[in-house]
């Protein structure tokens, strides 16, 4: 069976690291484009004061060597960002709304419903610019402020967004609060009318267990970050996104196909580690894939 | 449902760390005894030249405050070690034989069959001393030298050991090569005549995914190491045993009972981190349990 991985290291990863030079971002994206990965979230078009790590998004994207076999995407916070993404030539765009009111307010000073009310204009802008719109529902499996999030609330947000014409839906495990039980609770509840993607963080070690659960429940699209780039803004020093090579390593051994060359991916994880200048948390980066035996 | 955790930090964990003082080992075991954990592998009776970290096993055990609610056990390599364990008063003892011939030879200069031939005398010694004998089958899910291990070979070792009178069987994921697929391959194959336990390392991030798979297949006993103490002797800097608090955190959230107080366990993980003086790899130690919300 085929599983589609979207590499989010250049965006969600680097957004949570100390800023790195534009050239290093371009080098990372180009290296990832050569691994066989089918999708890369390359940049986000956010206000540079909010996220200085992404201030050079236009320049990065202009310098990237686009591989026609790769679907590149950008994350945007609002209509202004959507316009920038379209102007830059993106045809796939992600927007984030948090299932947790408190989390959404702390991030963008709006309730979840207020953000949802702005979604139709955003979708319309993207569709008018020939781009698809994906809604990422942050804190789908728990909120660092509110704790548990009612899966019915997540399901209701999916219904509303699908009704508004969103093309895809992603469930964000923003601070790594998902466990197999929470994954099941959400996935059992939500409509499958549009393609679903899961975005897990490995903050509490459950990343691959959650992916295993989601795969068992029929989800075939996952975000992951090379080397486990990124961190958790709520717990300094904690792990962020699941590491792409750990995900690929497990799925390949289980017989799933991703199209990714794992050995090349591990080399890119080494590059990512050099770029950020700190030891990344990926076990497959450190120990190598299980098939590398001692001579 | 009930899951039984055996805490192996004081043995498998500390055996793979720089040596720590006797008093620190005693403090760690005593602290673990107060967490509600039902079983602790306290020491190993091995030759001090082979494993200097365990040279003070008798002294550690003599100084431990034994909690009557805890089952303590010791690991031994041979009949001599078994006699020492019995003399020290242990009533539960583990022995290790590797499913991989190459791994067994590199460790103890014997083939797997040669080690199995010595098992009856070891079991007899233990039973005569009123101790139970558990066989831990190392490299059950893969060998760092040979690569994949045929599950039929693991099943055959289980059959032989059960025939010899062993009381329990454990599957050791010695270098973290297990994936959910390998766990299923082994567990689908082996007899359930005796209680089975799984001992996973988190070297490549699959630790909790493997536990999830094993639980789904009816296994209810797991080894884990507080804080993720220990490492992988074959990959310097790599992660070793699954962290007890990560296991407990996931299982509790899924509705399983372990009898362990997770908050107290996290405190002991902090103690373990202070004892070894390095940052331990446990995500739950770093980020806290998912139910600790930001005020």
Query: Does any domain span residue B294?
Result: no
A78 located within any domain: yes
Q: How many domains are there within chain B?
A: 1
Give Rg (Cα) of chain A.
18
Helix, strand, or coil (residue A1): coil
Judge: A213–B211 Cβ closer than 8 Å, yes or no.
Answer: no
* Three-class secondary structure of residue A275 per DSSP: helix
The predicted structure's pLDDT at residue B214: 98
Position A295 in a domain: no
The answer to whether residue A1 neighbours chain B at the CB level (below 8 Å) is no
On the 0-12 / 13-18 / 19+ scale of CB atoms within 10 A, B61 is: buried
Share of chain B above pLDDT 70, in %: 100
Using CB atoms, pick whichever of B144, B207, B293 lies closest to residue A145: B293
- Residue A57, domain member (yes or no): yes
Residues 160-219, chain A, touching B (beta carbon < 8 A)? 175-177, 179-182, 202-209, 211-213
CATH code of A114's domain? 3.20.20.70
Q: What percent of chain A has pLDDT over 70?
A: 100
* Domain-embedded: residue B292: no
Assigned domain for B293 exists: no
Contacts with A241 (C-beta within 8 Å, 6 or more apart), sequence order: A8, A9, A12, A13, A199, A200, A201, A202, A223, A224, A225, A228, A229, A230
Q: Which of A103, A283, A288, A291 to mutate to test the interface with B (most CBs of B within 10 A)?
A: A283
List the domain range (segments joined by +) for residue A130.
4-287
Q: Which residues of B fall within a CB distance of 8 Å from A230? A: none
In the prediction, which pLDDT does A237 show? 83
Does residue A192 have a pLDDT over 90? yes
Mean pLDDT for B135-153 is: 98
Read off the pLDDT band of A232 (50, 70, 90): confident
**pLDDT, tens digit, 9 for 90 and up, residues A125-148:** 999 999 999 999 999 999 999 999
Q: Sort out which chain A residues have CB atoms less than 8 A from B279's CB and list them.
A: 237
**Is A231 a residue whose pLDDT tops 90?**
no
**Does the beta-carbon distance from A205 to B243 stay under 8 Å?**
yes
Which chain A positions have a beta carbon within 8 Å of B204's beta carbon?
Answer: 246, 249-250, 283-284, 287, 289-290
Distance from CA of B232 to the nearest CA of A (A): 9
Percent of chain A with pLDDT over 90: 97
pLDDT(B259) > 90: yes
Q: pLDDT for B63-120, tens place per residue?
A: 999 999 999 999 999 999 999 999 999 999 999 999 999 999 999 999 999 999 999 9
Residue B234 has pLDDT above 90, yes or no: no
Q: Determine the pLDDT at residue B72.
A: 98
Q: Report the residue of A151, A200, A204, A293 to disrupt the B interface, i.e. the one with the largest count of B CBs within 10 Å.
A: A204
Residue B43, SS3 per DSSP: strand
pLDDT at A233 over 90: no
**Residue B295 is assigned to a structural domain of this protein:** no
pLDDT at A189 over 90: yes
Q: What is the mean pLDDT of residues B121-148?
A: 98
């Amino acid at each position: 069976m085929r599983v589609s991985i979207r590499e989010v290291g250049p965006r969600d990863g680097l957004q949570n690291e100390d800023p790195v030079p534009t050239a290093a971002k371009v080098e990372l994206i180009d290296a990832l484009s050569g691994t066989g990965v089918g999708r890369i979230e390359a940049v986000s078009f956010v206000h540079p004061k909010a996220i200085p790590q992404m201030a050079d998004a236009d320049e990065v994207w202009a310098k990237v060597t686009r591989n026609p076999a790769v679907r590149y995407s950008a994350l945007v916070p609002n209509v202004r960002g959507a316009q920038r993404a379209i102007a830059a030539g993106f045809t796939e765009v992600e927007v984030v709304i948090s299932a947790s009111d408190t989390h959404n307010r702390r991030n963008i000073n709006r309730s979840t419903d207020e953000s949802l009310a702005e979604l139709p204009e955003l979708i319309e802008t993207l569709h008018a610019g020939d781009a698809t719109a994906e809604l990422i529902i942050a804190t789908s499996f728990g909120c660092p402020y509110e704790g548990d999030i009612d899966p019915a609330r997540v399901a209701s947000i999916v219904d509303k967004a699908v009704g508004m014409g969103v093309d895809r839906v992603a469930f964000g495990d923003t601070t790594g609060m998902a466990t197999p039980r929470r994954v099941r609770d959400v996935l059992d509840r939500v409509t499958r009318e549009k393609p679903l993607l899961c975005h897990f963080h490995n903050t509490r070690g459950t990343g691959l267990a959650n992916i295993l659960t989601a795969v068992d429940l029929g989800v075939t699209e996952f975000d992951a970050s090379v080397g486990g780039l990124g961190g958790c803004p709520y717990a300094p020093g904690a792990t962020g996104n699941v590491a792409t090579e750990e995900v690929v390593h497990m799925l390949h051994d289980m017989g799933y196909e991703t199209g990714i060359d794992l050995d090349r991916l591990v080399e890119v994880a080494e590059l990512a580690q050099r770029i950020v200048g700190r030891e990344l948390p990926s076990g497959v980066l450190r120990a190598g894939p299980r098939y590398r035996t001692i001579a």
